[in-house]
Amino acid sequence: MDKNTIKRLIFVILFVIIVVGIILIIQNTNKTEKALKELGYSKEDITVIIEKLSETDIEKILNMEYNQKLVSILNATYYIPDNLDRYIAYSPKTDNIDDIISIVNVGADNEWYTNTKETNLDDGIKMLVNKFHYLKEDYLPNDIVSISNWYAYEGHSTKKEVYDNYINMWNAANKKGLVLLVNSSYRTFEDQENEYNMSNDDYASRPGFSEHQTGLALDIVSDGVQGNEFENTDEFRWLQENAHKYGFILRYPKDKEYITGYNYESWHYRYVGKDLATKVKESGLTYDEYYAYYCEYKKAC
């Protein structure tokens, strides 16, 4: 055979391999599409499923019954691919797709205080502490300073950065004739242990699971006000509008108990820094949801 014949032969062989490959891919896609159709998925559903899922995940879907919530889950804003199995497992529990996504993303498809892991301390002021993320007994924040009685009830302390921003916030509120007062702040593991032992899971965090151990949380009220009476004060309304400008977010909002694990606390504010506080506020998400999606999954917070 001369050189040209060999060249031609190689070309023909390659051409055949490519054509056969394309045919096989098309056949396989058609097979998948047919199987999904037989399960009950519409043409539009199938397009989304094939676009969003890996072959392994599609294989899983093909081994399950038709799930009418699947495509809405895949199209949800805060969908995280790694959570697919858990979304599907949780999907019979509610018809609200956003709730399925949020509950699974924050880990609340597990019982509170189960499947726990240590807080990522490298996150610094962004660290997440909740009923699934804990601080070790020996975790002591640095830069703890005491809060002057001008701004707080007796005997409170917090991280220096939090204190500086709290004073700025206090002054801005005070210019409007409002007086903020801190009535709980930094707590050690032992402080929380004592509080928990005198209470129960409905009213206190377990030791290690309290945000107060970070030195980044302040309970803020106005004079003489108890508990959620605070939400009826001008101080509270001012904080709703302005706290983020000083780096604080309302950590346990109303009607989000099933995500945060805490009843509504109009007084509990968490310092995360101005940029992040603004982003969290604009997102309308709880910090647990924001952290799960943007900090942990997107690595952008």
Q: Which residues bind Zn ion (CB under 5 A)?
A: 219, 268
Token code pair at residue 67: 């799930």
In terms of CB distance, is 97 or 220 closer to Zn ion?
220
Q: Give least dist CB 135 to Zn ion, A.
A: 15
Query: Measured from the CB atom, is 168 or 263 closer to Zn ion?
Result: 263
Q: How many secondary structure helices (H) and strands (E) does the chain include?
A: 12, 8
The one-letter code for the residue type at 129 is: V
Q: Give the three-state DSSP class for 152.
A: strand
Cβ closest to Zn ion, residue 72 vs residue 130 = 130
Contacts of 225 by beta carbon, 8 Å cutoff, 6+ apart: 233
Distance CA 266, CA 220 (A): 9
Nearer to Zn ion, 90 or 252 (CB): 252
Q: How far is the CB of 113 from Zn ion (least distance, A)?
A: 18
CB 261 within 8 A of CB 112: yes
Structure tokens at 189: 């593991």
State the minimum distance, in angstroms, from the CB of residue 268 to Zn ion: 4
Closest CA to 178 of 149, 221, 118: 221
CB distance 89 to 67 below 8 Å: no
**From the CB of 296, what's the least distance to Zn ion, in Å?**
23
* Measured distance CA(107)–CA(10) in Å, rounded: 56
Is 118 catalytic? The answer is no
Minimum CB–partner distance for residue 180 and Zn ion (Å): 14
Nearest residue (CB) to Zn ion, 246 versus 269: 269
User: Which of 211, 231, 235, 265 is an active site residue?
Assistant: 265
Residue 119: strand, helix, or coil = coil
Q: Which residue is nearest to Zn ion (CB)?
A: 268
H helical segments located in the chain: 3-39, 43-52, 55-62, 70-75, 84-90, 97-106, 160-175, 189-197, 234-242, 257-260, 274-283, 287-290
Catalytic machinery residues: 265
